[in-house]
Amino acid sequence: MRYVSTRGQAPILSFGEAMLTGLARDGGLYVPETIPTLDKDAIAALAGLSYEDAAFRVMRPFVGDAFSDDEFRSAIAKAYAGFGHAARAPLVQLAPNHFLLELFHGPTLAFKDFAMQLIGQLFQIALQRDGRRVTIVGATSGDTGSAAIEAFRGLDNVDVFILFPHGRVSEVQRRQMTTPSEGNVHALALDGTFDDCQSRLKDMFNHFEFRDAVGLAGVNSINWARVLAQVVYYFTSAVSLGAPHRKVSFTVPTGNFGDIFAGYIAKRMGLPIEKLVIATNQNDILHRCLTTGRYEMGGVKPSISPSMDIEISSNFERALFEAYGRDGGAVAQLMDEMKAKGGFAVSQGAMEWLGETFASGRVSEDETRASIADERAASGELLCPHSAVGVKVAKDHLGAVPMVTLATAHPAKFPDAVEAATGIRPGLPPRMADLFDRAERVTRVPNDLAALEAIVHERRAR
Ligand SMILES: Cc1ncc(COP(=O)(O)O)c(C=O)c1O
Ligand SMILES: N[C@@H](CCOP(=O)(O)O)C(=O)O
């Protein structure tokens, strides 16, 4: 199994190399050269399996010889052992044709744990085998950072630096990142937006001298392994609703486009997905692009679903690569235009391609609050604001096939927004009950590449 860059100019890598490399050296993102498929019998055979067994069968074809079957099985088993629900990703019925996929039963209460717990295990195997150490730098709007810290805290061959936008994450998210006491964890509050954090991270990857000197690795969804691990729950949920004999649609609260791109991969693998619906908050660049054909930045506005306050939606590049017939040169040109002018026009052919697979909707702040309150009244389910964005858009797209909305975070990560909408303040699970009593450790940092690189150089262990 080989991986190629969306910009067509970087070395072709194996799964193991792509996982440890992160961003391709031409600035693009790695994708599989060919996408493996599962036939109807193989998909039907997933029914009744444990989440772990299904995960092995769905992901194995992408991994090649990077890990033995035993290593990969054991990594999967360890990754999900700490989840707080036996099903790992349980499906709850909201209405006759509408289901909620609860992805918040992992250690940090967001869907990021599905991939991060697994790549934590895979990194350990790969690094120990090669006798290597790496410096992970991650950008987060709140959830990726806490999941990464949880997965890598205390490991002696990894330093983990997390950049988050100062004042733009929830208090629970911030404390999840700033209270771990392990010396290899470094929480950095950046003066800027999530897009600034992600741009500086990509700048570090594109600065080869720095990248090679610190052994830079990435665990954002620029890392293919992150996307791959998220493909699994599309299969498990669709199969439990009757796939491959019945079609299913998904609505996905979307920011960096990693989660919904995993759904696209599931579709390409043979899962009968009718539509993948992109649900955005007021930062609606993806919805505007899908409806107007222009990807146009307009400035991020803070919202009550802060993890989706994103305008430079990193994985949309992977979708564009497919939409432009895997033409890396065309993608590179669009990304250059984006950098120079803050936007680009999508060609008619690419728009048609996108429209065949994706639909989209946008939810205002008031509608998000109403969605939390309405769903509580209708089904009793208490939604986090991101999941509420998804549920609202899903309701506008209900049709003949079952609709699954991804519930991407636990409501207790955003207690203020949930309480304002419902009067109910969701509580953290007992294992996190002392989160507000723990001491915080965080460094305020400027939105400046040289300053950030200096901090990483100075603090990482050698
Ligand atoms: C709670 C939550 N929901 C939705 C999203 C959007 O997911 P993606 O960036 O994969 O589109 C994020 C962050 O990315 C998130 O943290
Ligand atoms: N919402 C995310 C943003 C980063 O997403 P990633 O999937 O690319 O790591 C977050 O919570 O940090």
Atom of ligand 1 minimally distant from the CA of 413: 1
Considering just the CA atoms, what is the radius of gyration of the chain in Å? 20
The DSSP output letter for 233 is H
What does each C-alpha distance from 135 to 15, 152, 180, 185, 455 come to in angstroms?
A: 19, 11, 17, 11, 12
| Residue bearing the CA closest to ligand 2, atom 7 | 221
* β-strands 403-407, 185-190 pairing: unpaired
Q: What is the pLDDT of residues 213-266, one digit of tens each?
A: 999 999 999 999 999 999 999 999 999 999 999 999 999 999 999 999 999 999
Q: What confidence tens digit (pLDDT) does each residue in 305-346 have?
A: 999 999 999 999 999 999 999 999 999 999 999 999 999 999
| pLDDT, tens digit, 9 for 90 and up, residues 171-199 | 999 999 999 999 999 999 999 999 999 99
The number of residues in the chain equals: 462
173 CB near ligand 2 (under 6 Å): no
To which H or E segment does residue 122 belong?
Answer: helix 112-130
Instruction: Report the atom number in ligand 2 closest to the C-alpha of 198.
Output: 4
> 105 by DSSP, 3-state: which?
coil
CATH 3.90.320.10 at 91-108+224-422, yes or no: no
Q: Ligand 1 mean position to 420 CA, how many Å?
A: 22
The residue whose C-alpha atom lies closest to atom 15 belonging to ligand 1 is 307
Mutate to test the pocket of ligand 2, among 109, 111, 144, 286 (most ligand atoms within 8 A of CB): 144
- Whether 8 and 332 have beta carbons less than 8 Å apart is answered as yes
Instruction: Find where tokens 């031409």 sit.
Output: 26
Is the minimum distance from the CB of 307 to ligand 2 under 6 angstroms? yes
pLDDT at 461: 83
Mean pLDDT computed over 373-399: 98
